[in-house]
Chains A and B, each alone.
Chain A
Amino acid sequence: MSEAAIPSSVKIQPPPAELERQPLVLNKRGLGWLSDKVAGVAEGKAPGWWWMAFIPSVLMLGIGFVCVTYLISTGVGVWGLNHPVAWAWDITNFVFWIGIGHAGTLISAILFLLRQRWRTSINRAAEAMTIFAVMCAGLFPLIHVGRAWLGWWLLPIPNSNGPIWPQFRSPLEWDVFAVSTYFTVSLLFWYMGLIPDLAVMRDRAKTTIRKFLYGLFALGWTGSNRHWSNYEKAYLLLAGLSTPLVLSVHSIVSFDFAVAQLPGWHTTIFPPYFVAGAVFSGFGMVLTLLIPVRSLCNLEEVITVRHVELMCKVTLATGSIVGYAYSMEFFIAYYGGNPYELDAFIYRATGPYWWAYWTMITCNVVLPQLFWFKKVRTNMLLVFILSITVNIGMWFERFVIIATTLAREFMPSNWGYFIPTWVDIFTFVGTFGLFLTLFLLFMRYLPMIAVSEVKGVTPQADPHHPMGGGKLGGHH
């Protein structure tokens, strides 16, 4: 039936232009263009900027490797840890990276369940980021222990020594399960989503080795209806599985502190506060990564300003939750009547670590308020800067919670101070090296945008849409 044949009384009028949602892919790009564009990033010669990013990243990774070798061979004392501050940068970095690892699964799972179609352009990169961040995070508990070569004793492995099991009451033990589960499920979820796109890569591959490898990992995907049907079910299931994990991982990480009894740690507000903070920092990191990537890879039409704006809004919301938590901590310290706790919070804000505390407040509570303004949200440079300050702020949040609490708690006789050494600093730098190296490799070898999913949310994919059907290269 042709358009003209529909009587005007029956014809559905398109909404007025100002109410039209901004499309998720701009410029009415066709589906073929999408495949070319996204797959193109991972094909052909690596661009100059990629090498300029990759070489320093690998160097940083190398530095990290040297630091970790030195650390394990010589002793944890090469870090600045002391008595009473027995955890500082190590666990700060752990929580920092775990937090960053939150956005990926949130975007891919929770937003999927909530039918937030805008997630499709960013979920693949965010999930990759999650996996790499969790890898960086997992490194710290492993290397921070005094006898790293015995770290596997945290695993409940059947043994003949009694048997001796791990201590299941310890939050660190819960971390082992929480983080490893989270990593496993995130990895599966990510790989699951990659399969149709790996098939695209396979089909486009020009060299035998690429054909073989993409083919191997595409698991024989043909795009048949049966495949799609199974895929959608599995995807939904994994999304359902991942959703509680998003909340549980950081809740459990927060138990490391909440279950302990130090003033400043021992508080019930931690689980929601940590989860909000994690989502906050995760979105911050997604923004930090994708803003340069979209312009370097010319993906502005796929990762649009609208996407960035939406992420800014999530950041604003979670940042405000975190801000509320900060104020609530103070209120409880005052209202709870525990002098030790009150002292701990006054010390945080006014003690020798005041700069860390106020950096945290500025970066996490004050600066994100700028996201109320559309002008800010749509200014990519500003958003980029703010996304970095979010991550600085969130690193300091963990530092403030961990180091300042330990530096001053019950017994005045052993109050202390923490100063990082070069090994502390370069181990952290090294994890950025690991993270960036992996992310850059991911960009070069895998489709960094979920092509099949983005195609699914384009108007062309909707047969009822004016642009749908076969008209503009959509599905037939």
Chain B
Amino acid sequence: MKTIPPPCPEPEAGPKYWRSMDQLADTPEFRQWLEREFPQGASELADPVTRRHFVKIMSASFLLAGVGLTGCRRPEEKILPFAKMPDNYVHGVSQFYATAMPTRNSAIPLVVQSDDGRPTKIEGNPQHPDSNGGTDQFAQASILNLYDPDRAIRFTGNGSTKRREEALDFLTSLSTQARANGGQRLAFLLERSSSPSRARLQRLVSERLPQAQWFVYEPVDFDIHRQAATAAFGKSVAPYFKLDEANVIVSLDCDFIGTEENSYINCRRFARRRNPEKSAGQPMSRLYAVEGLLTLTGANADHRLRIPSSAAQGFAARLASAILAQKGGGAELQGGVTKLSAALAGQDAWIAECAKDLLSADNAGKSLVLAGHRQPLAVHTLAYAINAALGNIGTTVVLHEVPESKEGNISQLAQALNGSQIDTLVILGGNPVYNAPADLAWAQAQAKAKSVVRLGYYEDESFPANGWHLPMAHYLESWGDARTADGTVVPVQPLIEPLFGGMTELEVLSRIGGLEKTSPYDVVRETYRGLGSDGEENWKKFLHDGFLAGSAAAPASVQLNGNACAAALNAAPAPQLPSRDRLEVVFHRSHSVDDGRFNNNGWLQETADPVTKLTWDNAILISPETARELGVGEYDEERRGNKVRKGLFKNQIVELELSGRKIRGPIWLQPGLAKDTVGLALGYGREKTGRIGRLDTGQPAGFNAYKLRASTADGFAVGGKITPTSETYQLANTQEHGSMEGRPIIREATKKQYDEHPEFAKNMDLSSPAHMAHIPKDETGNPKMIYPRPVYNGTHQWGMSIDLNACVGCTACMLACQSENNVPIVGKDQVTKGREMTWLRLDRYFAGSVDDPQVAYQPMLCQHCENAPCESVCPVNATVHDEEGLNLMVYNRCVGTRYCSNNCPYKVRRFNYFDYSRRPRNALYRDPFTARTDGEWELKRWFKQPERGSIPDDEWELLKLVRNPQVSVRMRGVMEKCTFCIQRIEEAKITQKVKAGPSGDVRVPDGTIKTACQQACPAEAIVFGDVSDPNSKVSQLKKQARDYAVLGFLDTRPRLTYLARVRNPNPAMPDAYKENPGTLDEYIKDGNTSPLESHAHGTVVGPGAGHGAQPATQHKAEKGAH
């Protein structure tokens, strides 16, 4: 799919895309070229056309032709035809480029789809040695930030708009001045980065400005892993966890699946060992989670110990002492261990059995203990000590050498600022005014610098009044580099020139340092040279592949330094434990907005948090038990969710006080939280944010949890106090009902049960009523159908299989679907009405006890039923089946009766109640007769440009660029739903047809087509393919015993079937499931017979239940036979 390596960019002086198109278009040569009657463009375009050049021509033609405003449409050919098609350009075929999204200490390798020179869809780079092509939700959604109309689009000096040249002049003068005094009274505040180029630049600038001070701040910092490893092993090393090598995993408040860094790698490695079939030869892994909040890791754990985060050190200490007692050694740690053990009382049996499992001979060197980033150094140290004792170092925990980090922290910087030691503060990225620790009073401290130069993506809270603000380029607009978790160097390659002339960190650094080469491209190229692999061809390959092969870090051979560990433990402050009056407050990274950097990203804001299912807001999370004691909030145990009144969550607002600082926010009762623990998601309550970060009401989304967070306790703090108020606040939640009500929708068993009764999932199909007995049977013993089944005889028969055991609930698939299929966002108000448009939703059910729930996730999307209930009820034939078994939705034909949605038992169809794609969220209810947009009567606008909608110009111009041109944008009044990414299917079919030529082999090879959700899924839970090919992966999966169809008894014969979930509890554990997983217990309690009682499958099973995908192929076979 990829094209040849893109060429190097042109010199920087060249005209810029987008902003300066007029410039380009206005050159006399170009005009002349265009105005020639027969544009013999062949001569011009005969040069090897570079991608960038092509983009320029295209953009200019957009502009001149006046069709630059047509959204995802192709350029009008009649105006500027390609006299000769540029090389590698196939009309209508997207191009793909490798790049990477830098994260704090790592990066996600990507392949980005580009259409007509604009990036439209982000995918993981499957060729990268440490990636299967999966990504996390942030990577998928990050493309929307590129087209964010609220991003910083101008240079400002002391608050007023300046030209870019003026800003550059200023940087030059700053550089001259700094170099004159060696960088005295100059400070840099950076974000974390894994970029070799930045490290190199930092070194170079330091050499020139030896007096300059360097600081790093990340509100959610994962550097503790490196710090702890460095301290424990006496060498600058960072850990890399090989979860797929571990038989037993113990998470000490470590949400490695969710909010830790590189979770997409962890998901993949974890999921590989969770499937009884996949992990053939290796036992299914077992996960013990010890945590205070309910995280995705806890949700996927086989055993979960719910203790406050502050007690995790007690757990770690006692586990360490149990392990060390067995394994010997570690005498020097004893003192610290004893001290920290006090943090947890009881749970003896839990710890003993967990330790026993870790110590089991089978698991020698195959276990893994992880500590979470919120936990203090002592817990990390203990985790390394345990891992070392268990022989895991080098097997499941690999240590990579990393450069030392010598930067100061933000507290030191604040101190320096307050001491007036700093004249010029350069902030590269980050938003410290919003997210710096509350005790630093950062806004005032920052104001003490004489001048602040800030490179920022938004003109947000940290926008400096005294100094310069430089717009930052998006990573898809920047040249850069990074290292992924395994140390592999990846390029950050632009797919588009900066839309608003933004700068990168590398450029600003090199300009301030007064380096010769300031273009980020040159900087990166230079760094690449230094990596010892130069040469134009190598460089091109590097860019083409998206990684430097063989650059992964080698495992460092290190020894645990017992004394250093002991010192770390002894230095740890005595643990504090929460109580009802001194609650523990945990500050966690948000699943939606990260630390606030994605606050203005509508896709993420509207993607429900996988645990709470809240959108558009954060809430004060507290367990139902604690809430009861405090007398706040209301929990509906039957429903397994917060009390809902007339379908609305109007939750009580409470005041939370911590060390004298107060915030107010709605309470949310979250089962699974530890007693006396409060969870606060960071990243909300932004005072200065864009249109998305403010709700339809103009209020910021959520409340700002940073206001409570002190520099000394950034993970969690004990001492919170909740005071109820009489006010309420409406929350938008996408799932009201948390209980599965005993229905066999997600089917679960334990590993042992599955081994004994592999057919358990099929046994849970609803039995037919006994009176079916007299209905005539066909040769297979199933009742003869009254109506003939539809026959599908296409070349392929598409189907999908989703492995509920692999799915961890990370939401990457939801974002991938949204991006791929132009799914609009609808806003908080519409979400409260259940009108979110997600084609793929993630259902989350709780089972078991209220306080210690078991959680199960199920991605729910169109099941592409063979007997589709939606099709027969549509009065206008707008939803029909194709011969390849796809349930098609014909938007143009749809009049919007919504009958299909009503008759869909899975409720996966979504209706455009308003013109979501063409209206701003706050104007959905405005009628066109009275409303005005941009000062013009709406009806008049509509008359002039019916497809234009009422989105303000600035938003529209960018919004239309993000849309995937392969997928039509739906108007109001039509139904939409998952298409199995039909655009991808068709593209693959066409490609195959072209390839087949006269051979006629038009069957698309298995694995060619990946749906967007499948592509993004880091856990490889989703498999799409041809079910009529018995050897395809999807057919193989559907043959597994765990395969079942949801609501199969309705004879909908879905093409999407699920693989039942298998949990792997340790029977010796005190909290071991009382034989059955919670959902299975509820199922049996609901009056069903246990699926584990052996009865042969097929005798009492309803018509077609559980055979989702087979009939079509059977029909085909029969047809062939006749």
Q: Does B956 contact A (CB under 8 A)?
A: no
B835:A74 contact, CB within 8 angstroms:
no
A347 to B910, CA, bound (A): 25
Interface of B is mostly: loop
With contacts A77-B914, A146-B894 taken as known, whether A83 is within 8 angstroms of B925 at the C-beta atoms is: no
Residues from chain B with Cβ under 8 Å of A337 in the complex: 769
Q: Does B901 contact A (CB under 8 A)?
A: yes
B:892-906 near A, CB below 8 Å: 893-899, 901-903, 905-906
B:879-933 near A, CB below 8 Å: 893-899, 901-903, 905-907, 910-915, 924-929
Q: Does A368 contact B (CB under 8 A)?
A: no
A82 to B914, CA, bound (A): 12
B896:A153 contact, CB within 8 angstroms:
no
A150 to B1087, CA, bound (A): 48
Contact with B along A66-89 (1 / 0, CB 8 A): 000110011111101111101100
Residues from chain B with Cβ under 8 Å of A323 in the complex: none
Residues from chain B with Cβ under 8 Å of A331 in the complex: none
Which of A78, A147, A352 meets B974, CB within 8 Å? Answer: A147
A167:B646 contact, CB within 8 angstroms:
no
A:405-450 near B, CB below 8 Å: 406, 409-419
A172:B897 contact, CB within 8 angstroms:
yes
B873:A260 contact, CB within 8 angstroms:
yes
B646:A172 contact, CB within 8 angstroms:
no
Q: Does B877 contact A (CB under 8 A)?
A: yes
Q: Does A119 contact B (CB under 8 A)?
A: no
Contact with B along A340-360 (1 / 0, CB 8 A): 100100000000100000000
A147 to B741, CA, bound (A): 37
Closest chain-A Cβ to B683's Cβ sits at a distance in Å of: 26
A413:B845 contact, CB within 8 angstroms:
yes
Across the two chains, which residue of chain B brings its CB closest to A417?
B647
Closest chain-A Cβ to B904's Cβ sits at a distance in Å of: 9
Which of B841, B858, B927 meets A73, CB within 8 Å? Answer: B927
A:24-50 near B, CB below 8 Å: none
Contact with B along A162-177 (1 / 0, CB 8 A): 0011110111110010
Which of A70, A154, A412 meets B876, CB within 8 Å? Answer: A154
Which of A173, A336, A410 meets B769, CB within 8 Å? Answer: A336
A78 to B913, CA, bound (A): 8
Contact with A along B815-846 (1 / 0, CB 8 A): 00000000000000010011110000101110
A167:B911 contact, CB within 8 angstroms:
no
Residues from chain A with Cβ under 8 Å of B971 in the complex: 147
We find that the number of chain A residues with CB closer than 8 angstroms to chain B is 59
A413:B737 contact, CB within 8 angstroms:
yes
Residues from chain A with Cβ under 8 Å of B833 in the complex: 77, 80, 82-83
Q: Does A339 contact B (CB under 8 A)?
A: yes
With contacts A74-B926, A412-B740 taken as known, whether A261 is within 8 angstroms of B869 at the C-beta atoms is: yes
Q: Does B212 contact A (CB under 8 A)?
A: no
Closest chain-A Cβ to B395's Cβ sits at a distance in Å of: 40
Q: Does B114 contact A (CB under 8 A)?
A: no
Which of A69, A170, A413, A415 meets B874, CB within 8 Å? Answer: A170
Residues from chain B with Cβ under 8 Å of A171 in the complex: 873
A75:B973 contact, CB within 8 angstroms:
yes
Residues from chain A with Cβ under 8 Å of B836 in the complex: 83
Q: Does B224 contact A (CB under 8 A)?
A: no
A147:B873 contact, CB within 8 angstroms:
no
A260:B902 contact, CB within 8 angstroms:
yes
Residues from chain A with Cβ under 8 Å of B334 in the complex: none
B:340-355 near A, CB below 8 Å: none
Which of A146, A415, A417 meets B912, CB within 8 Å? Answer: A146
Residues from chain A with Cβ under 8 Å of B499 in the complex: none
A74:B928 contact, CB within 8 angstroms:
yes
Q: Does A472 contact B (CB under 8 A)?
A: no
With contacts A86-B911, A154-B895, A411-B860 taken as known, whether A167 is within 8 angstroms of B902 at the C-beta atoms is: no
A146:B876 contact, CB within 8 angstroms:
no
Q: Does A145 contact B (CB under 8 A)?
A: yes
A343:B741 contact, CB within 8 angstroms:
yes
Across the two chains, which residue of chain B brings its CB closest to A90?
B898
A71 to B896, CA, bound (A): 14
Residues from chain A with Cβ under 8 Å of B752 in the complex: none
A74:B914 contact, CB within 8 angstroms:
yes
Closest chain-A Cβ to B307's Cβ sits at a distance in Å of: 29
With contacts A75-B914, A83-B835 taken as known, whether A417 is within 8 angstroms of B876 at the C-beta atoms is: no
Residues from chain A with Cβ under 8 Å of B1050 in the complex: 261
A69 to B927, CA, bound (A): 9
Across the two chains, which residue of chain A brings its CB closest to B844?
A413
A343 to B905, CA, bound (A): 15
A416:B834 contact, CB within 8 angstroms:
yes
Q: Does B511 contact A (CB under 8 A)?
A: no
A352:B926 contact, CB within 8 angstroms:
no
Across the two chains, which residue of chain A brings its CB closest to B1050?
A261
A166 to B880, CA, bound (A): 12
Q: Does B644 contact A (CB under 8 A)?
A: yes
A251 to B929, CA, bound (A): 40
A167 to B648, CA, bound (A): 37
Across the two chains, which residue of chain B brings its CB closest to A174?
B875
A410 to B743, CA, bound (A): 9
Q: Does B723 contact A (CB under 8 A)?
A: no
Q: Does B735 contact A (CB under 8 A)?
A: yes
Contact with A along B241-281 (1 / 0, CB 8 A): 00000000000000000000000000000000000000000
A153 to B872, CA, bound (A): 16
Which of B835, B860, B896, B928 meets A413, CB within 8 Å? Answer: B860
Closest chain-B Cβ to A314's Cβ sits at a distance in Å of: 33
Q: Does B739 contact A (CB under 8 A)?
A: yes
B735:A413 contact, CB within 8 angstroms:
yes
Contact with B along A310-348 (1 / 0, CB 8 A): 000000000000000000000000001111100100000
With contacts A84-B834, A146-B896, A352-B646 taken as known, whether A167 is within 8 angstroms of B901 at the C-beta atoms is: no
A167:B895 contact, CB within 8 angstroms:
no
A145:B895 contact, CB within 8 angstroms:
yes
B745:A69 contact, CB within 8 angstroms:
no
Q: Does A144 contact B (CB under 8 A)?
A: yes
Q: Does B166 contact A (CB under 8 A)?
A: no
**Which of B737, B740, B928, B929 has the most A CB atoms < 10 Å from its CB?**
B737
Residues from chain B with Cβ under 8 Å of A417 in the complex: 644, 646-648, 736
Q: Does B637 contact A (CB under 8 A)?
A: no
With contacts A74-B914, A411-B906, A412-B745 taken as known, whether A82 is within 8 angstroms of B835 at the C-beta atoms is: yes
A83 to B833, CA, bound (A): 7
Closest chain-A Cβ to B841's Cβ sits at a distance in Å of: 8
Closest chain-A Cβ to B785's Cβ sits at a distance in Å of: 15
Q: Does A259 contact B (CB under 8 A)?
A: yes
Residues from chain A with Cβ under 8 Å of B871 in the complex: 167
B924:A147 contact, CB within 8 angstroms:
no
A:374-416 near B, CB below 8 Å: 406, 409-416
**Which of B740, B766, B833, B974 has the most A CB atoms < 10 Å from its CB?**
B833
Q: Does B948 contact A (CB under 8 A)?
A: no
Closest chain-B Cβ to A414's Cβ sits at a distance in Å of: 5
Residues from chain A with Cβ under 8 Å of B912 in the complex: 75, 146
Residues from chain A with Cβ under 8 Å of B972 in the complex: 75-77, 146-147
A411:B905 contact, CB within 8 angstroms:
yes
Closest chain-B Cβ to A457's Cβ sits at a distance in Å of: 44
Residues from chain B with Cβ under 8 Å of A154 in the complex: 875-876, 895
12 contacts between A and B (CB under 8 A): A75-B973, A77-B972, A82-B835, A83-B834, A146-B913, A170-B875, A170-B899, A409-B905, A409-B907, A411-B860, A412-B845, A413-B858
Q: Which chain A residues have a beta carbon within 8 Å of chain B's beta carbons?
A: 69-70, 73-78, 80-84, 86-87, 141, 144-148, 150-151, 153-154, 164-167, 169-173, 176, 256, 259-262, 336-340, 343, 352, 406, 409-419
Given A147-B973, A417-B736, output 6 extra A-B contacts at Cβ < 8 Å.
A84-B834, A145-B896, A146-B894, A146-B973, A343-B741, A412-B745
Q: Which chain B residues have a beta carbon within 8 Å of chain A's beta carbons?
A: 644, 646-648, 735-737, 739-741, 743, 745, 766, 769, 830, 833-836, 841, 843-845, 858, 860, 869, 871-877, 893-899, 901-903, 905-907, 910-915, 924-929, 971-975, 1047, 1050, 1086-1088
